[in-house]
Amino acid sequence: MIQELKTGIYHNEYREQSPAVGDYIIFAKGRSVLARKESDIIAFPRFEEVDAEMAYIYLFQIDISGKMQKFFLGDTDKVSDGLQNDYGYSQQNMFRTKGPDYMAFAGITACQLANWYASVKYCGACGSKLLHDKRERMMRCPKCNAMQYPKISPAVIVGVIDRAQNKILMTKYAGREYKKYALIAGFTEIGETAEDTVRREVLEETGVHVKNVRYYKSQPWSFSDTLLLGFYCDLDGNGQICIDEEELSLGEWLSPKEIPTEYDGISLTNEMIMRFKNGLE
């Protein structure tokens, strides 16, 4: 999965600090991020290439083969002409396909943080300008003391299995860019446990009842500001599918040999599908 780094160890501890020579500076806005042009691998500008006065925000560091590499956010309004000779904005989807793995994970995580920082400039309660807290990754209101932490929405990914037929419930989303097979997914609502979300989402999206809900793994999925919680569960009763056409374009039961999905090493959904395909669940 995208967060499982083969060549690095991610360190998320927040320490307010300034960038120095060799540190990476990430400029991200919406779904795009500044990266070296025409490069097969992901490369972000280093501090010494940025060549402009701006306020930087410390992000995180990654231990790459024993060397600590720091990452900061830069100000997208201050990207110099010189920098634009070598670097251009690319869609964040490149982090699904390009490496090295620690740069892909750093890039997508930085995008989520950049979008969060862009959304918390003012206090939602009193309208004052928010300030960076000195000790935590948090924005604080100097007037009413309201605190804003990074937005993370928990959501479930569900592998529903029909034990009698040895099939898994596969779906395709309606009206989305992503056209491949997926599993049932949905956001946890206030007042629900993650297991409640599993039962509700499967019923709402496919009309199917489930039992034996069991936790598998989680994944930080910065493409959608989400913490994904993966669960498997078993079909309870009739497997007749009645899809919610607002959410899904297709829902069907597939046996391991009918599953067209190939291993991608990126998403929890992919890992969970492959696990069933390979007879491990």
For Zn ion, give the closer residue by CB, 58 or 116: 116
Q: Between 15 and 143, whose beta carbon lies closer to Zn ion?
A: 143
Query: 114 near 44, Cβ under 8 Å?
Result: no
- Among residue numbers 99 through 158, which ones bind Zn ion (CB under 5 A)? 123, 125-126, 128, 141, 143-144, 146
Q: Which is nearer to Zn ion, 91 or 128 (CB)?
A: 128
Query: What minimum distance in Å lies between the beta carbon of 128 and Zn ion?
Result: 5
Are the CB atoms for 153 and 229 separated by under 8 Å? no
Q: Which residues pair with 6 in a beta bridge?
A: none
In the complex, least distance from residue 22 CB atom to Zn ion, rounded to whole angstroms: 38
Please state the closest distance from residue 123 (CB atom) to Zn ion, in A: 3
Of 146 and 227, the one with the shorter C-beta distance to Zn ion is 146
| Cis peptide bond N-terminal to 100, omega within 30 | yes
CB of 238 to Zn ion, least distance (A): 53
H or E element in which residue 48 lies: helix 47-50
Nearer to Zn ion, 97 or 128 (CB): 128
Q: Terminus-to-terminus CA distance in the chain, angstroms? A: 18
| Binding residues with Zn ion: total (CB under 5 A) | 8
Give which of 224, 127, 130, 108 is closest to 177, Cα–Cα: 224
Q: Whole-number minimum distance, CB 190 to Zn ion, in Å?
A: 23
**Alpha carbons 106 and 6: distance in angstroms, whole number:** 13
92 SS3 class = helix
The site for Zn ion (CB under 5 A) is made up of: 123, 125-126, 128, 141, 143-144, 146
